[in-house]
Amino acid sequence: MSSVSCCILVNSCSKYKYILHPFFTMLRRWWPNCDIPIYLACDGDLKEYRDAYHIHIIEQDEDYGFVEGRIHALELLEEYPFVIMLQDDFIIERFVDNTLIHQLITIIANSYHTENPKIMDDSNAEDNSSQIPIACIRLMPCPGPKGNVHSFSINSSSSVLRLGEFEKNCWCRFSFQAAIWSRTYYIRFFKELKEDITSNIYKAYDKDMADAIISDPVYWKKIWFQSNLAENKYGCDFSLRYPERMLGVIRDGEYANAVYRSPIPYRPTAIVRGKVEEWAKELFKREKIDIKI
């Protein structure tokens, strides 16, 4: 197992606390050998979740917002260079490959050291990217990477892991799907993205109007969810200012259930527009999990 300092961060808010017991019940059921510290960041009293699921908690004073709450928590988790980011409605449905996850953590960690593992480009083209750090290894291939495939030797053995690269013109270079992230990259990306958006607002409006817009939490909620700037071309283009690579688990076919052939098998996403999806309700009923909405 990897000795790299990595944790799991789950963020939520009191509005959606009803999903937390189902989420953690399924996580502990399908990831019984999880030995990575788990943190829950949320507003309100979190003691019941800490005690029931043996997790660490980050109690936030209020609902800071989806992205803002994540950044607040990540800044507190400074002892961890890498973080597996999960959402509260990523309901795990099958066994998690704990060994593979540790191997992937080792790969992303090694990319930040000079003794990087040899990376072979399956296209046989000359590849000088082995010295470029990896910002992210996406664990959920939804969608999967379409760029060059890189092979990594594992623990100086004959085992090899293959990961795909998200190309520079890929609309989903950034994604909120489950992934191992460089903690500092994630913080930098959103802080500077928010600064960029703010700068554009001041260019388009007078100061008083701009001040009102950027201080309104509802505006930022629309930016991250309705406009979804981070996960679309705006976010893609913004990510190109950074040298780090984005890699991901390769999708095993285009069929819908291919998402289950991933290190953390879940179906995206259980809550859509504030409502629990019917498939999720059926899943909880089948798994004998009560959910009180």
pLDDT of residue 126: 38
* pTM for this predicted structure: 0.91
220 and 111 housed in the same domain = no
Bridge partners (DSSP) of residue 82 are 6, 182
Q: What is the CATH number of the domain that holds 116?
A: 3.90.550
pLDDT of residue 202: 96
- Sequence-ordered list of residues with C-beta below 8 angstroms from that of 57, at least 6 positions apart, any chain: 39, 40, 41, 42, 46, 47, 49, 50
* 178: helix, strand or coil: coil
220 and 275 housed in the same domain = no
Mean pLDDT of 208-226: 93
Mean pLDDT of 169-189: 94
Digit-coded pLDDT (tens) for 116-160? 444 444 443 334 456 789 999 999 998 889 999 999 987 656 678
31 and 75 housed in the same domain = yes
Digit-coded pLDDT (tens) for 221-242? 999 988 999 999 999 999 999 9
CA distances from 166 to 92, 136, 158, 291 (A): 24, 10, 26, 37
147 and 45 housed in the same domain = yes
Which of 201-210, 224-233, 249-258, 263-272 reaches the highest mean pLDDT?
201-210
CA distances from 96 to 25, 31, 34, 102, 140 (A): 14, 5, 9, 11, 12
Containing domain of residue 125, as a range?
6-185+244-286
Mean pLDDT of 189-203: 96
97 and 207 housed in the same domain = no
Q: Is residue 145 part of a domain?
A: yes
Length of the chain as a residue count: 293
First to last CA, the chain: 39
Q: Are 41 and 34 in contact (CB under 8 A)?
A: no
Type of residue found at 18: Y
Q: Is residue 34 part of a domain?
A: yes
37 and 130 housed in the same domain = yes
Q: Is residue 40 part of a domain?
A: yes
92 and 214 housed in the same domain = no
How is residue 158 written in tokens? 């004959």
Q: Is residue 292 part of a domain?
A: no
Tell me the CB-side half-sphere exposure of residue 6, using CA atoms within 13 A.
26
pLDDT of residue 254: 84
168 and 39 housed in the same domain = yes
Q: What helix, strand, coil percent values describe the chain, rounded to 5?
A: 40, 20, 40
pLDDT of residue 256: 80
134 and 46 housed in the same domain = yes
Q: Are 235 and 173 in contact (CB under 8 A)?
A: yes
How is residue 19 written in tokens? 């999903």
CA 207 to CA 209: how far, in whole Å? 6
15 and 130 housed in the same domain = yes
CA 126 to CA 128: how far, in whole Å? 7
Alpha helix segments (H runs only) across the chain: 20-30, 47-53, 66-76, 98-110, 183-204, 207-214, 217-221, 233-239, 278-286
Measured on CA atoms in the order 156, 140, 179, 121, is the torsion positive or negative? positive
Digit-coded pLDDT (tens) for 86-100? 999 999 999 999 999
- Sequence-ordered list of residues with C-beta below 8 angstroms from that of 91, at least 6 positions apart, any chain: 22, 23, 26, 266, 267, 270, 280, 283
110 and 254 housed in the same domain = yes
Q: Is residue 293 part of a domain?
A: no
Question: pLDDT-derived band of residue 42, with 50, 70 and 90 as boundaries?
Answer: very high
103 and 223 housed in the same domain = no
Measured at the CA of 178, the angle between CA 45 and CA 64, to 5 degrees, comes to 35
For the chain, the domain total comes to: 2
Question: pLDDT-derived band of residue 11, with 50, 70 and 90 as boundaries?
Answer: very high
pLDDT of residue 287: 93
Q: Is residue 99 part of a domain?
A: yes
